[in-house]
A and B are shown apart, each in its own frame.
Chain A
């Protein structure tokens, strides 16, 4: 009964306190409820990392699947289960780089793959951006530096992440996240103001 009570406390819907370290330990002993919690909790992080690398949807799906499979094979071997978010972020980041290298290999020599990707990243369908403010915000985000785009995407992923996890996702010292966050949000705000008062982005 005690064991059951412990399980119920961990997975009762009312208990929303996130305990990823426990989920790792329980998933390692075969609990699919624990695995589901991990997937639900960290899918937003993994997705935002693939978006920050501007991977195509099929590439993003490959990276995320590979990341989860790496966790499955390592479940009993994770040394610091309570740092699983950082582990997943680091793994996903590395797999994103693998996907980019894979695409570069498949691209004929001479063309600059990375620039092609950046230039061909399509703007969202106009219909998806229901409010003018949405358009301004998304356009402003896309006009920022790569670091700011990545950082803001990851900061905006749900549920919100610890600075340790964000640092792992961006390969960035934890101490510089706070200042970078403030600086990138400031730039985003300036771009939006510029877009509203100055010459707006050309309409599609």
Chain B
């Protein structure tokens, strides 16, 4: 390994102290095995054919989103399609999701969680609702009725 930029060459003493620290952390704070095991399985979510709707607006970024304000509004976009969701903390850390697809169309919204997936109907005004969502990563897959358009996946977010 080459020396670090900034002119501070690591000393032998520093290297030994860091090695000792590495040993302590390995014993005291090891990576939980299930965290790594889950990570290995996640490539199964890859779908090169789906369109990715990136997050374009996030109420969590606003300074006004102070504590006590429990609702989060996220807006995703892929081409002409936008998906807006509002997440409200209900109880026990669970969320209610109310969403809207623009332009409005009926179809199916898949609620994708690391543990599995469920589906909710999207009405002809583009609205949908999902209840009792536990904390953790979440992504939505939008499939408009008719089936001749590619699915749109919203970028994964931490709920």
Contacts and interface: CB of A to CB of B under 8 A. Distances in A.
Contacts of A22: none
A95 B153 contact: no
Contacts of A58: 135
11 contacts: A43-B31, A77-B52, A98-B157, A105-B69, A124-B29, A134-B28, A141-B21, A141-B24, A155-B18, A177-B5, A181-B14
Closest 8 CB pairs of A and B: A178-B4, A178-B6, A109-B68, A178-B8, A69-B156, A156-B22, A35-B43, A66-B137
Contacts of A43: 31, 35-36, 39
A26 to B, nearest CB: 11
Nearest to B114: A65
B157 A105 contact: no
Contact of B21 (A64, A108, A156): A156
Nearest to B61: A101
A108 B8 CA distance: 46
A113 B10 CA distance: 37
Interface residues of B, number: 57
Give the bracket for the number of chain A residues in contact with chain B: 35 or more
A196 interface: no
B36 A179 contact: no
B30 to A, nearest CB: 9
Interface of B: 1, 3-8, 10-11, 13-14, 17-18, 20-29, 31-32, 34-36, 38-40, 42-43, 45-46, 48, 52, 60, 65, 67-70, 72, 89, 93, 114, 135-137, 139, 153, 155-159
A130 interface: yes
A182 B42 contact: no
B60 A35 contact: no
A113 B36 CA distance: 28
Contacts of A32: 43
A62 B34 CA distance: 12
Task: Classify the secondary structure of B's interface with A.
Answer: mixed
B137 A69 contact: yes
Contacts of B18: 152, 155-156, 185
B156 A70 contact: yes
B45 A63 contact: no
Interface of A: 27-28, 30, 32, 35-36, 39-40, 43-44, 47-48, 51, 57-58, 60-66, 68-70, 72-77, 95, 98-99, 101-102, 104-109, 113, 124, 128-130, 133-134, 137-138, 141, 152-153, 155-158, 160, 163, 174-179, 181-182, 185, 188-189
Contact of A66 (B46, B68, B158): B158
B35 A156 contact: no
B137 A35 contact: no
Given A72-B42, A104-B67, A62 B136 contact: yes
Contacts of B70: 105-106
Given A44-B31, A128-B27, A98 B60 contact: yes
Given A72-B46, A163-B4, 7 more contacts: A47-B29, A58-B135, A66-B156, A72-B45, A178-B8, A181-B14, A185-B17
B156 A73 contact: yes
A88 B50 CA distance: 22
A161 B5 CA distance: 14
